[in-house]
A and B are shown apart, each in its own frame.
Chain A
């Protein structure tokens, strides 16, 4: 069957690596994001590699544009899929200074993409197929002093994805929740305290494997499942005094 992937936040290195991989497998790729010049470059890259790809404007904070993306995807035959790589992580200290930054963080990391997925879901139900990849974060597994607003947004997104999975499973669709640990991207470049950092391509490979195997929730690299298992099980009475 024809495969089409809408990639939200396609300017990120993780999304780029994922786009290359699905394009190699023969999928049509719609690269959605804000920096159109950059998206056009990625589209040209995929086309030169022999795939079908185009750039399309997407801004998580401007839902008025979402309809265009859904309509464009609907013009492709076969299975429509979506992968969400958007999110923003202001420094917690910046949010402390200006609490209104919470709105943007939550919109970028959760409600913006969720609105678009909500508009896309009927198309998947119609066609009786479709996979959604939602990239969350291990930060969503527990609120920590360092980035709890971003963590809360990603936690909300994970809960949303769980519900969407529940809905789409009934009609043949599927939702994969991805929780990456530290990935070597522009977001983490030069931040102190990074360890066990994975390459974006390694994460993309893990995601694709999870899509093929119809996994529900994956941690990538895999060992983050165990790291987070421990962190989730620290009693709150102790956790509240820790700074990790």
Chain B
């Protein structure tokens, strides 16, 4: 296998890496490559920070390992290579009555990435996290192959779900798909005029899928206003989605300046009538709204952006309100901000989810934003919440370790699975994650 010396980044484009990357297309090439040189793997690099980076070290690009290697139409169990995307799985199986049980906010995420971050979707409060629907995972460490399931090699399995790739290269996995009644989404959109109403709508939702868009620039009485979307799968017909567009170049700074964002957010809020509305959408439009604009991360200009995402327990909702107040007051937020009620479901030691409310807000990469995020990080620790490693680029090791009570168990399991520390990435080194203290 040839190694390509290349520069690459995560989705946020702030943190960068440079090093040799191999991109195997077959299992035989993958195993031969790993036997010769152990290296961590990445997929479509949809993690925002440095979870997918290995600066000065080698890395494997898994996106060409993208095949379905088995499917049982009676049980809905599918076995796939790790580089297949969630969007591809949805496209193949939705017309035949099956859907990935959990779908993150982008269809470009690979199955390997979804496992490594134990991602959640808009149905987390009902169906839990991605890893809870993984039946088995095949890991490669050099010439050693490990198959882990919730019952066999249990510790490795738990350390792999949300384990940011530290137990070995995820080569393939068996997933339980969920049966669906149809392949369109019946979506109800409601305005929430302020924080309390927003939380109440999310908390009281009985829908299978629910999520809130939050106007992170609104202050005063409108603080926390937004639009709550609730959705169910249904049978029906919708027009074919329009072709996707690509952001051709890095946008200038003023594109996401405070007045522009405020104006945009007000218009976006008013798009939904005060009485609410129900609409029918294709699956992709509901689950992956931003995928229609390829390379939308370039809207933040060449300096990139940060995404802050935390979750706080239900009883700490007031603390989250304080954070939203700080964010709105800062004038730094972008239009992309999400509020969601999470359930308890999680599959691994380092899985992000906990029961509570999760907030995700994008910020253009500026020093003020980094300072604000540092404060939000402290407030999250105080509130008994945690940060999401899939998004993080700025946190400190002690803070992360304090947020994840099972971290020490994870360290034991990964250091056993990868004794040579060959899977370490920039994130692991930045946060000193492979050490218990």
Q: Does A50 contact B (CB under 8 A)?
A: yes
How many residues from A make CB contacts under 8 Å with B?
A: 20
Expressed in whole angstroms, the minimum distance between the Cβ of B410 and any Cβ of chain A is 32
The verdict on B250 contacting chain A, using a C-beta distance below 8 Å, is: no
Asked if A209 is at the interface (CB within 8 A of a chain B CB), the reply is no
Q: Which residues of B contact A189 (CB under 8 A)?
A: 2, 4, 22-23
CA distance in complex: A122, B224 (Å)? 73
Q: Is A206 an interface residue (CB 8 A)?
A: no
Which residues of A are found within 8 Å of B28, using beta-carbon distances?
35, 37-38
A-B contact count (CB 8 A): 53
Report how far A186 CA is from B70 CA in the complex, Å: 25
Q: Which of A40-48, A96-104, A112-120, A219-227 contacts B (4 or more CB under 8 A)?
A: A40-48
Q: Nearest chain-B residue to A45 (Cβ)?
A: B67
Contacts of B272 in A (CB 8 A): none
Question: Interface size (B, Cβ < 8 Å)?
Answer: 23
B71 in contact (CB, < 8 A):
yes
Is B25's CB under 8 angstroms from A186's CB? Answer: yes
Tell me which of B2, B27, B70, B78 contacts A190 (CB under 8 A). B2
Given A189-B2, A190-B2, A190-B5, do A41 and B27 touch, yes or no (CB 8 Å)? yes
**Cα separation A47 to B92 with both chains bound (whole Å):** 11
Asked if B271 is at the interface (CB within 8 A of a chain A CB), the reply is: no
B67 and A186 within 8 A (CB): no
Separation of A16 and B22 alpha carbons in the complex (Å): 19
Report the bound CA distance from A50 to B23 in whole Å: 28
B29 at the A interface (CB under 8 A): yes
Residue of A12, A44, A185 with highest tally of chain B CB at under 10 A: A44
Q: Is A28 an interface residue (CB 8 A)?
A: no
B68 at the A interface (CB under 8 A): yes
For A13, list chain B residues within 8 Å (CB): 25, 64
- CB of B255 closer than 8 Å to a CB of A: no
Does B78 contact A48, Cβ atoms closer than 8 Å? yes
Which residues of the partner chain A approach B23 to less than 8 Å between Cβ atoms?
A: 186, 189
Binding site for A on B (CB under 8 A): 1-5, 22-29, 64, 67-71, 78, 81, 92, 96
Q: Which 3 A-B pairs have the closest CB atoms?
A: A190-B4, A45-B67, A48-B71
Interface residues of A (CB under 8 A from B): 11-13, 16, 35, 37-38, 41-42, 44-45, 47-50, 185-186, 189-191
